[in-house]
Structure 1
Amino acid sequence: MKKLPIGISSLEKLRKENCYYVDKTHFVEKLVNKGNQFFLSRPRRFGKSLFVDTLKQAFLGNKQLFEGLYLENNWDWSVKYPVIHIDFGGGTVKDPQDLKNWIIKQLKRHMLTYNISVEDTDNVRFMFTDTIYSLYQEYKNPVVVLVDEYDKPILDNIENDNIENTEKAIEIREVLKDFYSILKASDQYLKLVFITGVSRFSKISIFSGLNQLNDITLDTEFATICGYTQSELETVFKDRLEGVNLEELKYWYNGYNWLGEKVYNPFDVLLFFDKKDFRPYWFETGTPTFLMKLILNNKVFLPKLEEIKANDEILANLDVDFLKIENLFFQTGYLTIRETKKLGLRTIYILTYPNFEVKSSFNNFFLSDILPSVSDKEDAQNSIVEAIEENDLEKIKTALYSFFASIPNDWYRRNDLDSYEGFYASVVYALFTGSGLDTKAEDTTNTGKIDLTVFYQDRAYIIEFKVVEKDSEGKALSQIKEKKYYEKYTSNCREIYLVGIEFSKEKRNIVYFEYEKLNIR
């Protein structure tokens, strides 16, 4: 058997530079013992590519890279396998032909690396088949196929309000479907198939031929395959945690859950240790513009994102022509699983924001999307935070009124807000939440739900929203009193303030803002 080529890898770079590496190599052994065809979905910048490279180096037999790691003494290093590693993460695919060219270029690179010859053709399927078979024949061992960012060519071309882009995304999907179908036909020549990306497109739409593909996205056994657990954080980064408030670190960056132990976003943790400053590092690397369009087009009540119910079908069956908000928010990492509930034979997933970074940053972005002036948004949020600190509710009223007055009329017209009942309450919720205040939307009590509760030190502000056609009806504050929403917090808070707010559709601003301090005995 020919000697397999060895290339520079991200794992090798980390080990050579003595960078921190959280040992996930036991998952490599676990995968091999469990089957031979796997699929994993995780949000961007969560360590998927590093794990793919870890798999690659293990099968290539590069033992020196695993010194001191679990796999060093739990792997048969005498057997080496040829690896086909296809990565769609680089660049943007413009159309189906561009995708075909990109696949062919990567396959040709493998031919050069492994010194094999395959008939030059523009047929992706034939070329992939021949590459697998040639490697199997040349190296006398089954082939490992690793596909990273498998879905990026589709995601690059999805726009729910752009028919032309959607049609292009469907055509790209068909190219990928044809490409991945080879894995089923070549099963006898394959040792392992591992496919990863952000989204979980339905097997019918893109993996119809891969009957044995094991989706481990929500497999408890693999819940922590990407991301850092609390134990890993405190053990591996022990020397970097001196002087760090662990509870604050957890509040900012922990909370992602795939039916197992909650994990930290690795990208956030590493940048935090580098900068020593709490910032939304992960959020800043990608703007959720497409999700904002979905929110506006579907008239989503923004506070609802704090608790969304979804079932298996919704979370597992994304498709170009079957876009569901719950699915997209979950798979892109803006929502995660808080808990699961059984409803008969069905499993219901309760989704929520994973942590403070995502919750505050997402709501901030929502405000930036509706208001062209960043300074107006910042002024409003600064005023609200100052008002809460000073316990000055009149200042809150002024800040809210000024913010709504600054939204251009043309923006209302373009986004058809006349039918968006939850818009005004969504904006207020986003202002408080995006400001970094501790908020809870749709706060459940024994008599109903509080629209919004804001907590500051030992104070609670219970807020009720009403939308009226033209003039104030004066009902918001009275509803809080009648339903005694405040009773939930009388034993935990020293001061409670009841705030009623009414918005006029016609005037597009606040027409009623009344408040009073509750007398707690």
Structure 2
Amino acid sequence: MAITNLQRLPLNMPDFIALRESGMIYVDKTREIASIAMLRQQFFLARPRRFGKSLLISTFEALFSEGLKHFEGLAIHDIWREDRCYNVVRLDFSTIRLFDSIEAFTQQFEHLLSDAFGKYGFKPQQGEDRLIHLEIDNWLKTQPRQSLVLLIDEYDAPLTAVLDNQDLFKAVRERLASFYSVCKTNVAQLRFFFMTGIAKFNQTGIYSELNNLVDISLDPMYGDIVGYTESEIKKYFSPYLKDAAATLGLSEDETLQKLRQYYDGYCFDENASVHVYSPWSVLNFFARPYRGFKNYWIESGGQISLLGRYLKDHALRNPADYALEKTVSYGEMSIPTGPEKLRDTALLTLAGYLTIKRRELDTFFLGYPNREVEEAMATFYSERLLEGRSIPEVGAGEIRAAFEEGRVDEAVTLLNRIFLNIHYAPQPVRDEATCRNYAQLMLVVAGLRVSVERSNIMGRSDLEVFAGRCHWVLELKFLSRTEEEKGRKPERLLEDALAQLREKRYGLQDGGEEKRIRAALVFSEQRREFVLWQECLEADA
């Protein structure tokens, strides 16, 4: 199917009116939008970057400024009954990111406010001692009640830009708090208020000043207000799905399955009931399916330089934690806090690197949403383990091919080469869990699909690797330095691992045409490598 015959994708188009006028695909979220806009309240929504928050803000802007003019054929058209239009002030704080002093921030901040409010008659004073928030306060008091709509996009962008500079963070926070105080004082003039961001920093003043702010970030009713559900992908992008399948030589079901593996899995609601795809990744894939399943979100809005540095200094400090299940309390996700108190897992979840998998009482259990993020996090960790070098740079560039072609000796030899390049002092391999986690993240970086502790009726395997037409099942044993010094032999551990593969029947629950390779490996803490390995060759029966 010629790509030119398809309805245009809304890639890089966060403007609702321009999107509609150009005939691009619009995934209809207006039923949920109407349920929010009908209320005369103030709302907040936290979501990662590149998830459609700006398009959501733009849709509210079009609705309140021009009514149903651009909503023909959408769900809201038969729901919305308000015929009045409003003056809409829209502030995009993502435009204020590049500054290195409070003076530079203030200049950009005042310019943004002056332009946005100036459209409706606000005239800022001149002079060095001006306080623009007080001027806006005086101007707002002259406006009729319920006459303005205020929309704030990426409210926390100036704050995340200076997360690594606490003095500047505090100064920016104070300026923002003064403006939010004005918003609270003049709430009677606002017909509607909606604000988006990533994190919820209470020190900005927004949560104390606007104490009636309705936070819908964890509300199951709005779990898919941004992002695409699988049913929406099938409904709105079916021609692109067909085109991608034909381009890649896959069936539509196989293409959708890979889309699910790479870009689905984000869950934002407190019941863990709704999951969505990354819209940025999906749109980029459909635009260029011949490139395959690339890490589009991570390469653009997902990896923010300053936020990335903050995360590396905190949550990425221990690569051994890569595969461990992580938790965060309901309170940490729902109650605003400051950056100095915001735990790594909470920030990673808000930023989209982790997502909610399930909830038990007041605890969220977290994991990587999909392969795109899993691979990106593995890359972060591998850079620490290998001190900035890549797998090919340490001489193991053929490891993926070795796994895909089922070459056991070569695969383990190359895995050993990677382990021998891990600096022992800061990142020692002290136990079986660390050994397994390091092996997993390196294989993920190599582009292989890895499953940890995969269950069958008899137990859970250590590592399973899906490489081309090969399905590897690996049982790992760890020989500690102390045990080896006391005379324990790796051969005994190898026998134990082979017996476990036989008795527990790991990997045998799967059918399919893949070549199954089940192998036992013994890692020596003293030698820092796998010293023995053997394939389990008995019949599957």
Q: CA deviation at 1:44?
A: 0.7
Equivalences, count: 492
Q: 1:87 to 1:454 in 2, by over 3 A?
A: same
Q: CA deviation at 1:370?
A: 4.1
- For residue 60 of structure 1, give the secondary structure of its aligned residue in structure 2: helix
Deviations 1:1-22 (A, max 9, x none): xxxxxxx981122122211111
CA contact (8 A) 1:334 1:358 kept: yes
Q: 1:111 to 1:367 in 2, by over 3 A?
A: same
Aligned to 2:344: 325
Q: CA deviation at 1:488?
A: 4.6
Aligned to 1:252: 262
Q: How far apart, CA to CA, are the structure 1 residues paired with 2:407 and 2:227?
A: 42
Aligned to 1:431: 442
Deviations 1:216-269 (A, max 9, x none): 111011011101111211111222221432222222212111234321111111
Q: How far apart, CA to CA, are the structure 2 residues paired with 1:123 and 1:448?
A: 66
Aligned to 1:290: 310
Equivalent of residue 111 in structure 2, options 102, 105, 108: 105
Q: How far apart, CA to CA, are the structure 2 residues paired with 1:433 and 1:236?
A: 32
What one-letter code is carried by the residue in structure 2 that aligns with 1:360?
Answer: E
Aligned to 1:145: 150
What one-letter code is carried by the residue in structure 2 that aligns with 1:297?
Answer: R
CA contact (8 A) 1:223 1:258 kept: yes
Q: 1:296 to 1:230 in 2, by over 3 A?
A: closer
Q: How far apart, CA to CA, are the structure 1 residues paired with 2:363 and 2:69?
A: 45
Q: CA deviation at 1:293?
A: 2.9
CA contact (8 A) 1:466 1:501 kept: yes
Q: 1:476 to 1:48 in 2, by over 3 A?
A: farther
Aligned to 1:395: 410
Aligned to 2:476: 464
What one-letter code is carried by the residue in structure 1 that aligns with 2:73?
Answer: G
Aligned to 2:248: none
Q: How far apart, CA to CA, are the structure 1 residues paired with 2:66 and 2:24?
A: 21
Residues 148-163 of structure 1 correspond to what in structure 2 (within 5 A)? 148-159=153-164
Q: 1:21 to 1:385 in 2, by over 3 A?
A: same
More displaced 10-residue stretch of structure 1: 12-21 or 148-157: 12-21
* RMSD of aligned residue pairs (Cα, Å): 3.1
Residues 376-395 of structure 1 correspond to what in structure 2 (within 5 A)? 376=392, 380=396, 382-395=397-410
Q: How far apart, CA to CA, are the structure 2 residues paired with 1:141 and 1:211?
A: 19
Matched, 1:491 2:499: no
- For residue 310 of structure 2, give the secondary structure of its aligned residue in structure 1: helix
- For residue 69 of structure 2, give the secondary structure of its aligned residue in structure 1: helix
Q: CA deviation at 1:104?
A: 1.4
More displaced 10-residue stretch of structure 1: 458-467 or 391-400: 458-467
Aligned to 2:102: 96
Residues 404-443 of structure 1 correspond to what in structure 2 (within 5 A)? 404-407=419-422, 416-417=426-427, 424-443=435-454
Matched, 1:45 2:50: yes
Matched, 1:338 2:357: yes
What one-letter code is carried by the residue in structure 1 that aligns with 2:259?
Answer: L
Q: 1:513 to 1:151 in 2, by over 3 A?
A: farther
Q: How far apart, CA to CA, are the structure 1 residues paired with 2:112 and 2:141?
A: 16
User: If the length of structure 1 is used for normalisation, what is the TM-score?
Assistant: 0.84
Q: 1:188 to 1:499 in 2, by over 3 A?
A: same
Q: How far apart, CA to CA, are the structure 2 residues paired with 1:48 and 1:153?
A: 17
Q: CA deviation at 1:511?
A: 5.2
Q: CA deviation at 1:492?
A: 2.6
CA contact (8 A) 1:174 1:206 kept: no
More displaced 10-residue stretch of structure 1: 317-326 or 200-209: 200-209
Aligned to 1:311: 329
- For residue 208 of structure 1, give the secondary structure of its aligned residue in structure 2: helix
CA contact (8 A) 1:61 1:78 kept: no
Q: 1:261 to 1:75 in 2, by over 3 A?
A: same
Aligned to 2:250: none
Q: 1:127 to 1:399 in 2, by over 3 A?
A: farther
Q: How far apart, CA to CA, are the structure 1 residues paired with 2:23 and 2:204?
A: 44
Aligned to 2:379: 364
- For residue 144 of structure 1, give the secondary structure of its aligned residue in structure 2: strand
CA contact (8 A) 1:461 1:497 kept: yes
CA contact (8 A) 2:461 2:475 kept: yes
CA contact (8 A) 1:256 1:264 kept: yes
Matched, 1:117 2:129: no
What one-letter code is carried by the residue in structure 2 that aligns with 1:196?
Answer: T
Q: 1:118 to 1:254 in 2, by over 3 A?
A: same
Unmatched 5+ stretches in structure 1: 1-7, 160-164
Q: CA deviation at 1:51?
A: 0.5
Aligned to 1:261: 274
CA contact (8 A) 1:464 1:500 kept: yes
Percentage of pairs with the same residue: 26
Q: How far apart, CA to CA, are the structure 1 residues paired with 2:313 and 2:496?
A: 33
Residues 232-243 of structure 1 correspond to what in structure 2 (within 5 A)? 232-243=232-243
Q: How far apart, CA to CA, are the structure 1 residues paired with 2:172 and 2:204?
A: 15
- For residue 478 of structure 2, give the secondary structure of its aligned residue in structure 1: strand
Q: CA deviation at 1:444?
A: 5.8
Q: 1:88 to 1:476 in 2, by over 3 A?
A: farther
What one-letter code is carried by the residue in structure 2 that aligns with 1:330?
Answer: T
More displaced 10-residue stretch of structure 1: 366-375 or 82-91: 366-375
Unmatched 5+ stretches in structure 2: 1-12, 246-254
CA contact (8 A) 2:51 2:226 kept: yes
Q: How far apart, CA to CA, are the structure 2 residues paired with 1:389 and 1:418?
A: 29
What one-letter code is carried by the residue in structure 1 that aligns with 2:529?
Answer: I
Q: How far apart, CA to CA, are the structure 1 residues paired with 2:434 and 2:309?
A: 17
CA contact (8 A) 1:442 1:450 kept: yes
- For residue 115 of structure 1, give the secondary structure of its aligned residue in structure 2: coil
